[in-house]
């Protein structure tokens, strides 16, 4: 018996590995409150064009959300979650 594939429709799913347990409350950006698998309000498509960024304090944010936050004078270059000085892990 010969089989000819005439059409193929692939489906895939991805998610960021943030290195935490499956706690759904912590699976959102602390600034925009959009899930990490989604994109920040500045972007249209999630993925590599809307990456995540980790701080030394271990908080995770969409990169664009954090850059916008750090650019404000009220941020004082601090993490928006715990107000410790913001710094990327080494």
Rounded mean pLDDT for each run of 10 residues along the chain, 90 residues in total: 91 75 70 89 86 89 93 90 81
CATH number of domain containing 14: 3.30.40.10
Inter-CA distances, 46 with 4, 30, 42, 43, 52, Å: 35, 17, 11, 7, 10
Can you read off the two tokens belonging to residue 74?
């009220």
Residue 15 pLDDT: 74
Inter-CA distances, 55 with 15, 18, 77, 87, Å: 19, 12, 12, 5
Residue 37 pLDDT: 85
Say how far apart CA 56 and CA 84 lie, in whole Å. Answer: 9
Residue 90 pLDDT: 58
Per the structure, the complete domain to which residue 8 belongs is given by: 1-90
Number of domains present in the structure of the chain: 1
Residue 20 pLDDT: 65
């Amino acid at each position: 018996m010969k089989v000819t594939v005439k059409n193929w429709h692939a489906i895939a799913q991805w998610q960021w590995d943030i290195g935490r347990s499956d706690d759904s409350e912590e699976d959102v950006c602390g600034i925009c409150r959009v899930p990490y698998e989604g994109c920040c309000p500045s972007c249209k498509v999630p993925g590599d064009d809307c990456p995540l960024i980790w701080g030394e304090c271990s908080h995770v944010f969409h990169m664009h959300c954090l850059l916008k936050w750090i650019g404000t004078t009220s941020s004082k270059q601090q993490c928006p979650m715990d107000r410790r000085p913001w710094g990327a892990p080494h």
